Structure 1
Amino acid sequence: MVVKRHIVHQSSRPAKKLDPGSDPSNIMGDSWTPTPGTAFKLLMSARLCAALWSVVSDCDETFNYWEPAHFLCYGRGFQTWEYSPAYAIRSYAYILLHVIPMKICALLLGDNTILVFYMTRCLLAVACAVSEMLFYRGVCRAFGSNIGRLTLILLLFSAGMFAASAAFLPSSFSMYLTMVAYGAWLTGDAHVAVMAIAASAILGWPFAAALGIPIAYDLLVQQKKVMFFLKWCTISVIVFLVPMVLIDMHFYGKLVIAPLNIVLYNVISGHGPELYGVEPLSFYLINGFLNFNFAYILALGSLPFLLFCSWFLKKSPKSNVWLSLAPMYIWIVIFFTRPHKEERFLFPIYPFFALAAAMVLDITQRVLHSLMPEQTKRGHYTDSTSWLAAVFSFVFATLSFSRIIAVYQGYHSPLDIYVELHRVASDSKIHTLPPGKSVNVCVGKEWYRYPSSFFLPGPNWHLQFIESEFKGLLPKPYESGADATRIIPSDMNDENREEPSRYIDISRCHYLIDRDTENWTQLEPQYSSSSNWTVVKQAPFLDVTRSHRLFRAFYIPFFSNYHCTYTAYNLLKTTRTKRSIKQLKKS
């Protein structure tokens, strides 16, 4: 007991910096809580697993981040309209934060670009684990050990955190820095909180500035530290915005303030993100449950539930309880009401789902404890109600693992197929083209599952698009040369309008990556059944249309295999010879 209290007191800050939402005896005190170091080790183990096994679920991650990074590293990659100097709504500063460690990895690992890809993901995973540890430490100090433990468990096992933690996306970057900001704010380090929010909004995602509103309210209204706030905002602008503008001026060849451009495009342009699809409110309700299952339900209802329980217990929660829940509700009001919805848009508030659910569980334990007979109320309130936390944690972890396995089994095959290209390139029995000859790897309807150019075997291998039923705007390769990022690419638009110049004739394809489907069309035939192609590798891919909604969403042994249908994800090699291609063209 002495050792435990010694560790706790070493890690605690002065009492005046704490504003606990529960009684002081529960602040890292009566029951054992993992130290920040132990929490980091647990989190890092989980995040490294995510870096190695999670799928690339968003084509924006590939074409807006991995591809520009590959271009800056190796001089080859795809460019989207967002990086055209005519629009310039993305910043190269964010890309450079990742390119620098990529180049170091490339020096150490040689020409194996797949290893560079996964090492970069591992570095992102470590950054996420550090951020979660700081957030956890702040939660423990402000709200007590029970809420801290529960938050850690929900973060550790969440399927949503598994997907978001190692993603090369500004929304994940903003999630990291938001956790740093609130971890610092809860421990009294307000200057770190202000700078973390500023870095998140400037370098990552400008809309993430909304998550700093509760911290700004606390500093400006409750603590009346106006000059302090302005001072650190000014420092943040100098430290983050000025270098970013200089970097983008170098790459774009003109003055560019990318955060401003992206806000203007999304908010006041006549053709914003709705061009890329709209979804009903149910999209976020379902998606949130898939990623946080029952913790998501607790989180959404946390505010009214905490109000009711506080009234029942005749205790008024401190202001930092409401301010810690506010970012989640602010974000929900902003993004749940937008027509264009994507899973990654919720990444920045994933940690608050865990915190809000932990608060609900904690106050439920307090209510149950208060309702127990006097003879059973001995000891700390968690002693008599620990079963509730244990049962909920077990159910949450089980459903989370089930979701992670379901996603891996259903959607990991594109990564496996693109890795196979490296084996094919080194097998002279399969790859019969002369060394150094240009090789075209083609995609049609499966273009958006391309993981990135890091998976191509060499500089003479090129991804090419063939026409399919998709009629939106596809990316195009960067121009060559030192000023490639300054050149306004031809055939680009910001209206998601199809550009036929992206397509090549299928007769020029050496390899084709395609998925078998039942509903084939003239533009999307069953290529694997054609005599013009031979199957090199197949991997199972979930057929959503012919699989049960529950059993495809969560893996349930035996039942999922019975109720889910898989199709073949194919790596195909052309059987056409030069002679047959000439004959085909003549006909």
Structure 2
Amino acid sequence: MPSTARQRNKGSKTERESEAAPPPVKSSELRRPAELGDFQPWTPTAYTAFKALMSARLCAAIWSNISDCDETFNYWEPTHFLLYGTGFQTWEYSPAYAIRSYAYLWIHALPIKLYATALSANKLLVLYFLRCILGFVCTLCEVYFYRGVCRHFGSNTGRLTLAFLIFSTGMFISCSAYLPSSFAMYMTLLAMAGWMYQHYQVSILAIAASAILGWPFAGAIGIPIAFDIVFRRQKIGLFLKWCCISLLLFLVPSVLIDSHYYGKLVVASLNIVLYNVFSQHGPDIYGVEPWTFYFINGFLDFNFVFLMALITLPFCLLVKHILKQSDRVLPLWLSTAPMYIWILIFFTRPHKEERFLFPIYPMFCVCGAVTLDHIQKLYSYLFTSRRARHYTELSNWLSAVVIILISLISVSRTVALYQYYHAPMDMYVDITRVSEDPSIHTLPADKDINVCVGKEWYRFTSSFFLPSEKWHLQFIQSEFKGQLPKPYASGPDATRIIPKNMNDMNREEPDRYVNISKCHYLIDLDLPRETKLEPRYSQQKNNWKVLTTTQFLDPSRSHKLFRAFFVPFVSSRYVTFVDYNLLQTKRTKKSSQRKP
């Protein structure tokens, strides 16, 4: 905004908040007779955006589920080992394969180690402290991204993007997840914002950190940015300089840290590419999904924002042609290219997981906002009067209706995830209460306690939820026939020892199981169907006592729509719940009664 306009607007808080908006849209852009002048729609300040986003991210840190077993066993468990000396090790952390990075773990482990040491916090508080840190970091990246969108795409697109970021279920799920794909999402926010601000060094550093420290495939998001810097801007020297700086800042330390822990030279980011791309089987041995998988998940996590994002490029190019608009600093095809490149790569892979889309979740928000913004422009061009100073003046009702609709659907989805699937988090928290109740837990404090899981192994929330180092998670046999993790070896060289009975083919390793007679507690989902290896343990009254029961959704007996979205006073009639039980063995009490 020109300096004269800024001086004129100092008297109003609302007008002051719009000072940081991008330069006013030229009247020729909309081919309308009305002079737009210096008018710009109101946008929240960076501080206002921070407060709104931070509120949403803290809610996610406290209430969102740990729904991905990869998050538990590949990140929370090795972090627990680094902090407390115990935890589960997956084959990816075996020195024979070394496709996970301890450098990435220490980025997260260091602040919570300081927190735990300074305040003597219990493990559960340590876990939630890290989730809050992740939410805070995500918020800072989002605010920078939001201001970049305002600057490049305009105030209206910026505030629409902010609304989508705050309310979308996808951001709720991913913002505090301890996953490289979430880390890559933070870096996407920084890289895209730096690109829009023409802070190219920020973009290069963010993409490099994402690919080297987090997830190497996230480097694909940087392809359009590199193209713009090198070929359109001809800033080859700047590009090479900051690439070299990035290698020194990220690659060298990560190689040193990983080589120390694995006991040999390791470039973890290279190893994961070699395994996933150049091995004979790749990740497909862990399951394949139909082509519709990401379309369904995209709609569940972003509903109509996802659909608008998919059509951004063709629809907006059509509108620009009708209105005879020109691009701003970046052409639309280039600024949306990161999303379309990611879709082209991952939508065509047989092995699909929801977390693989995390890095482009912010792109869904901004592309959806760009589409809605162009819908408003088209509406204004076709239907509004000439007296409007700006295309949003008489089309704001349209964006308001869409935001309200999308927000309600998103909140419905978010509440459904909590209401239907939060039982494991509640159950493992309840184990601490059980351990402190002498009327329930009667075993000596120095005795090793086994908490067992069978078919519910993949919903284990991590060792941070176990009361002390005397409490151990154990696996009993179930119908699952893949490879389970095993505890780390003990000693200072534990990470350098090649574990026995580990493979990279997802073959079952029978040494993971214990006999059920060794279980003191058992966590099990009481489904009406049972098999020889998955009986209904809660019905075995002579062997097990039900201590705690929480409700968990049975998807197979629930309506598809109402298991996906929560509708107050309606959903309960169309969904079916089963008991998620914490069971206590009766063998312990019997044996203790026989002692003299």
Q: Does the pair score TM above 0.5?
A: yes
**Residues 426, 27 of structure 1: alpha-carbon distance in 2 compared, 3 angstrom cutoff:** farther
- Alignment-mate amino acid for residue 337 of structure 1: T
Give SS of 2:392's match: helix
Per-residue deviation, 1:102: 1.1
Aligned to 1:477: 487
Q: Out of 540, 563, 566, which is 2:574 matched to? A: 563
Q: How many residues align structurally?
A: 578
**1:371 maps onto 2:382 in alignment:** yes
1:301-340 deviation per Cα after TM superposition (whole angstroms, max 9, x unaligned): 1111112111111223343432221111000000000000
Matches within 5 A, 1:148-227: 148-227=158-237
Q: Out of 86, 101, 105, which is 2:115 matched to? A: 105
- Alignment-mate amino acid for residue 478 of structure 1: Y
Per-residue deviation, 1:213: 0.8
Give SS of 1:369's match: helix
Give SS of 1:513's match: strand
Aligned to 1:64: 74
Q: Out of 141, 149, 173, which is 1:131 matched to? A: 141
**1:93 maps onto 2:87 in alignment:** no
Per-residue deviation, 1:372: 2.1
Residues 308 and 368 in structure 2, CA contact (< 8 A), matched pair in contact too? yes
Residues 154 and 354 in structure 1, CA contact (< 8 A), matched pair in contact too? yes
Matches within 5 A, 1:149-548: 149-318=159-328, 319-372=330-383, 374-375=385-386, 377-530=387-540, 531-548=542-559
**Residues 495, 384 of structure 1: alpha-carbon distance in 2 compared, 3 angstrom cutoff:** same
1:11-46 deviation per Cα after TM superposition (whole angstroms, max 9, x unaligned): 479x8xx99x978x9999512101111111110010
Q: TM-score, normalised by structure 2?
A: 0.94
Give SS of 2:483's match: coil
1:513-571 deviation per Cα after TM superposition (whole angstroms, max 9, x unaligned): 00001121010000001020000000000000000000010001121100000000000
Give SS of 1:334's match: helix
Residues 22 and 144 in structure 1, CA contact (< 8 A), matched pair in contact too? no
Cα distance in structure 1, aligned partners of 2:179 and 2:291: 23
Aligned to 1:146: 156
Give SS of 1:383's match: coil
Cα distance in structure 1, aligned partners of 2:569 and 2:560: 15
Residues 181 and 196 in structure 1, CA contact (< 8 A), matched pair in contact too? yes
Cα distance in structure 1, aligned partners of 2:21 and 2:590: 77
Give SS of 1:242's match: helix
Give SS of 2:506's match: coil
Cα distance in structure 1, aligned partners of 2:539 and 2:113: 42
Cα distance in structure 1, aligned partners of 2:37 and 2:125: 43
- Alignment-mate amino acid for residue 276 of structure 1: Y
**Residues 362, 348 of structure 1: alpha-carbon distance in 2 compared, 3 angstrom cutoff:** same
**Residues 522, 421 of structure 1: alpha-carbon distance in 2 compared, 3 angstrom cutoff:** same
Give SS of 2:548's match: strand
**Residues 152, 502 of structure 1: alpha-carbon distance in 2 compared, 3 angstrom cutoff:** same
Cα distance in structure 2, aligned partners of 1:106 and 1:394: 41
Residues 26 and 144 in structure 1, CA contact (< 8 A), matched pair in contact too? no
Give SS of 2:523's match: strand
Bigger mean CA deviation after superposition, 489-498 or 99-108: 99-108
Give SS of 1:381's match: coil
Give SS of 2:57's match: helix
Aligned to 2:5: none
Cα distance in structure 2, aligned partners of 1:283 and 1:373: 40
1:131-180 deviation per Cα after TM superposition (whole angstroms, max 9, x unaligned): 10010010001111000000000011000000000000000000001101
Two-structure CA RMSD over aligned residues (Å): 2.2
Per-residue deviation, 1:232: 0.5
- Alignment-mate amino acid for residue 74 of structure 1: Y
Per-residue deviation, 1:341: 0.4
Cα distance in structure 2, aligned partners of 1:230 and 1:7: 40
Per-residue deviation, 1:208: 0.3
Residues 36 and 389 in structure 2, CA contact (< 8 A), matched pair in contact too? no
Give SS of 1:382's match: coil
Cα distance in structure 2, aligned partners of 1:383 and 1:179: 29
Residues 325 and 356 in structure 1, CA contact (< 8 A), matched pair in contact too? yes
Cα distance in structure 2, aligned partners of 1:208 and 1:492: 28
Cα distance in structure 2, aligned partners of 1:222 and 1:497: 49
Per-residue deviation, 1:374: 3.9
- Alignment-mate amino acid for residue 363 of structure 1: H
- Extract structure 1 runs of 4+ deviating beyond 3 A: 4-13, 25-29, 577-581
Unpaired segments ≥5 residues, structure 2: 1-7
Give SS of 1:256's match: coil
Cα distance in structure 1, aligned partners of 2:39 and 2:95: 56
Cα distance in structure 1, aligned partners of 2:497 and 2:41: 61
**Residues 29, 57 of structure 1: alpha-carbon distance in 2 compared, 3 angstrom cutoff:** farther
Cα distance in structure 2, aligned partners of 1:445 and 1:520: 11
Per-residue deviation, 1:104: 1.7
Aligned to 2:9: 2
Residues 68 and 79 in structure 1, CA contact (< 8 A), matched pair in contact too? yes
Residues 28 and 144 in structure 1, CA contact (< 8 A), matched pair in contact too? no
Aligned to 1:551: 562
- Alignment-mate amino acid for residue 41 of structure 2: S
Per-residue deviation, 1:439: 0.2
Residues 18 and 40 in structure 2, CA contact (< 8 A), matched pair in contact too? no
Unpaired segments ≥5 residues, structure 1: none
Q: TM-score, normalised by structure 1?
A: 0.95
